[in-house]
Homo-oligomer: A and B are copies of this chain.
Amino acid sequence: MLRTAAVVGAGLIGTSVALALSSRGVTVYLSDREPMAALTASALGAGHAEDPPGPVDVAVLAVPPADIAATLAAVQSRGLAHAYTDVASVKARALAEIEESGCDTGSYLGGHPMAGGERSGPLAARADLFEGRVWALVPTRDTSDDTWRTVRELVTLVGATPLVLDAAGHDRAVALVSHAPHLVASLMAARLEHAAEAEVGMAGQGVRDVTRVAAGDPHLWREILAANASSVADVLTELATDLDEAVAALRALAADDDGTASVALTALLARGTAGHGRLPHKRGTPRGGYVTVSVLVGDQPGELARLFTDVSAAGVNIEDVFIDHAPGQITGMVELLVTAENAGRLTRSLRVPSTVMAR
C-alpha cells in the first residue's frame, strides 16, 4: 500500500498530484528548483517541503520533458524512492534519453495524466484534477512488477484511469488529439490577426471555439510541439493533403466548373462529421439519451438562483449547463442538458418559458 511519496517539481501537475495523494492519507515530500514553489504548495496542504527521512514508495517527476532523464539519474543516485514515474506530455524522446543515460529502467514507469489546462503554477493546482481523467502509462522494456503495482496504485488513488501505451503510440495519440489540433487552431486564429474591425465584429461562437486553444502560451507550445515534432508533422501532412483538395474544389466551384468538386467537398465535410463523432461524449454516455432544455433568464443577481431552485424542486439532475450570451445582450439563454425522461418534469416545474431540443 502506498504510504509515502516524493513530488519533484511543484507546478500545476506536481502540486495537484501532491494534493490528491495527501488528501488520501499519503505522506508527501515536495521539492522544486524554486524553493518558494515547494513552500507555496506545502502551504496549500500538498505535503512537506523537505527531503524524506528515507526512501519513499514512489517519486513523481513533474519537471519539463527535457529534464526528465537528468532528474531521474540524480534522484536515483541518491535513492529517493523505490519506484519512479513522471508526468511529461511527450514520451519517446525522454524514454530514449533515460535508456541511454544508464538510469535504472526497472524502477521507472513513464506516465502522462490527460489533465491540466491553460493555467500553471502551484496556485492553480486542484486535488481533483485527475478524477475521471485518463492517465497514460508508458513502460520501459524493464519496468518491474513492483514498479507497475506502485505506479498503478498512485494513478487509481488520485482518481484517474490508467491507459497503457508504448512511447511511440502515446506520442502519435497526443499529436492527433492535442498537439495537431492546437496548431490548427493557431493557424486559423492567425488569419484574424490583421482582419478589419467589421470582419471580427461578425465573429460568432463557431470561430471562438475553433480558435480557443490558440490563446495558449506560444513558448510553452513551441516546446511541446518540438518534443513531438515528427508525429505532429505526420498528422498535419495528411491534413495538408485534404486542405489542398478542399481549396482545389472551392476554386473549381468559384469558376462554375463543378465536375467532381461538389462531391469531393461534401465527402471531406462528411469525413469531418464522422471524425467528430468518434470523440467520446463528455460523460462517456451516448448523446442520444440527453436533451437540452432552453430557458431565457435576465442578467440580474438571483435569476440563476431562481432557475436552479426550480430545477432542484423538480428533483432533476443537470448533466451540463451552457449560458449563451450575445454581445451587449441583457438577457441570456441558459441551456440545461438533462436525460430525455426528465425533460418533461423539468419544464413543467420551471416558472419561466422553456423549450426542449434533442441533442
Binding site for B on A (CB under 8 A): 114-115, 119, 123-124, 126, 128, 131-134, 136, 159, 161, 163, 165, 169, 172-174, 176-178, 180-193, 195-196, 198-204, 206-219, 221-222, 225-226, 229-230, 232-233, 235-240, 242-244, 246-247, 250-251, 253-254, 262, 265-266, 268-284, 294, 296, 299-302, 304-309, 311-321, 323, 325-331, 333, 355, 357
Contact = CB atoms under 8 A, between A and B. Distances in A.
Copy number of this protein in the oligomer? 2
A343 to B, nearest CB: 14
Nearest to A294: B126
Nearest to A200: B278
B211 A233 contact: no
A223 to B, nearest CB: 9
A232 B261 CA distance: 14
A207 B279 contact: yes
Contacts of A283: 325, 327-329
Contact of A305 (B200, B279, B281, B309): B309
A246 B190 CA distance: 12
Nearest to A245: B187
A64 to B, nearest CB: 15
A279 to B, nearest CB: 5
